[in-house]
Structure 1
Amino acid sequence: MAKNKTKKQGKLVYYILAITILIVSALSVFQIEFVKNAH
């Protein structure tokens, strides 16, 4: 039971990391496009 719980938590951390990386990359791409259009 305890092992299963930690496994689930690890998966959750992995998902949060993946989502964070996706958001950061999307934001940087958006910033680059915004700067390009501004100039």
Structure 2
Amino acid sequence: ERIKWNFTKFLIGQDGKLVKRFAPLTKPEELTDEIEALLR
């Protein structure tokens, strides 16, 4: 999918592959649970 704006966020795994993509309007603090789950 095309990147619509430069504030699109990507969660990348330790293997360098895309885990999840977030919309530009997603606030960074909304990503906390996703990031913590990936670190477990």
TM-score range, shorter chain: under 0.3
Relative contact order higher in (CA < 8 Å, ≥ 6 apart): 2
Higher strand proportion: 2
TM-score for the superposition, normalised by structure 1 = 0.28
TM-score for the superposition, normalised by structure 2 = 0.27
Higher helix proportion: 1
